[in-house]
Amino acid sequence: MQLRYSFRLYPNGPQRNALARAFGCARVVYNDALRARETARAGGEAFPKTGDLSKLLITEAKRTEERAWLGEVSAVVLQQSLRDLDTAYKNFFDGLKGKRPRMGAPRFKSRKDNRQAVRFTTNARWSITTGGDLRLPKIGDVRVKWSRNLPSTPSTVTVIKDAAGRYFCSFVMEIKDGHLPETDAVVGIDLGLSHFAILSDGTKIESPRFLRRAEKKLKKAQQNLSRKAKGSNNRTKARIKVARQYARTADARREFHHQLSTKLIRENQAVAVEDLAVKGLARTRMAKSVHDAGWSAFTAMLEYKAARCGRTFHRIGRFEPTSQVCSACGVKDGPKPLHIRTWECGACGAILDRDINAAVNVAKAAGLAVSACGARVRPGFVPAQREETGTHRDGQTTVVGIPGLSGGERKSIPHPHSIVSEAAVALTPVSRGM
């Protein structure tokens, strides 16, 4: 399995300028190659090959006065930019053939894009120094904050600059799967908005709502941005402040997803979730809350961590009626409005929590052996039958209650302990063999 390890970079002033130059040169080569291929397509000609584009747009372009500054950066960075264009075209055509989700056609890059990246391979002779710095060709030794050890020696490194002006180095490496000790526990997960996750064992995990909590600061930062003149340095500074606030929110959400997904994978042998229509929900009035929850990122983490740790991951269909079926008896009694959070099964009389019942049904739909006892199911109050009402005292043949008076009958007052009101009888729980 391939995993990405990302670490924070702290380049100094000259190093930031050198990285900006590398980002710009890689972007120019990418756009030149895209323009050459689109021109060939419009003219009905064959696409130029990567080798021909490398010779034309890199080797020969360096000798011209207009593109002489391409020689100020590593040639490997420019060649990898052409590889990125090949990958973009391959993904686009594979999407048209149905081999992968559909993607848009490659587009021209801009210096104003939120993300800038360059990649160095072993041919560029980059290295990690004994002092822990990242040595990059024609850039220098850049300080890195290592948060963990690398499991093996990487062959490539990607340097990224995000919208908040932060720099990262990213390593993609092949690692061996580390299987965890087996356990008998299994869990079904129902994802929601009021509670982020509801487990089939009855556990409810509150939704952190990181974006909602940061709205006040974001509102102030965006108001300051809107007051700045376009094209000014003050506007650039205000834009970076907004981007940093969004980055903090995204980082906090990602950390929450990682901690929760790791905990669930470690404690359970099998995990089942529902395939939610996130794109459809994002077009409703709940769009901001749906994006704030980040269900897709969380389920993706569960899936790859399960594969890495030897666990089983199930994703059931989105049309499974998990909220319409009683987890105790399996009877389906139709859809229910969202404001109904607790309901009573008309068949068995069980009182069900809507979310926990759905989590149990998610696990059962995935074929996991989950009992409904964890769904907070309890028998409801069922009216007793007419022949069962009342209590017979020893030697008394009449049904205890308020005696009906007729004609010359005397009023008889029964013993206080023998009086059972009709309302009390109607509320007596009846055993149903559960």
3-state secondary structure of 24: helix
The tokens of 399 are what? Answer: 């049904």
3-state secondary structure of 279: helix
**353 has catalytic annotation:** no
Measure the CA angle with vertex 261, ends 258 and 265; round to 5°: 135
pLDDT digit string (tens) for the chain, length 434 residues: 788 899 999 999 999 999 999 999 999 999 999 999 999 999 999 889 999 999 999 999 999 999 999 999 999 999 999 999 999 999 999 999 999 989 899 999 999 898 999 999 999 999 999 999 999 999 999 999 999 989 888 989 999 999 999 999 999 888 887 788 888 889 999 898 888 998 988 889 999 999 999 999 999 999 999 999 998 999 999 999 999 999 999 999 999 999 999 999 999 999 999 888 888 888 888 889 999 999 999 999 999 999 989 899 999 888 888 877 887 787 787 777 778 788 778 778 778 788 888 888 888 888 786 655 544 444 444 444 444 444 444 444 443 333 343 344 444 434 433 333 333 333 334 334 43
Given the residues 32, 84, 190, 353, the one annotated as active site: 190
**84 has catalytic annotation:** no
3-state secondary structure of 416: helix
**184 has catalytic annotation:** no
Given the residues 32, 84, 201, 274, the one annotated as active site: 274
Quick one: 87 exposed, middle or buried, by C-beta within 10 A (0-12, 13-18, 19+)? exposed
User: What is the rounded CA–CA span in Å between residue 190 and residue 273?
Assistant: 7
CB within 8 Å of 423: residues ≥ 6 apart: none
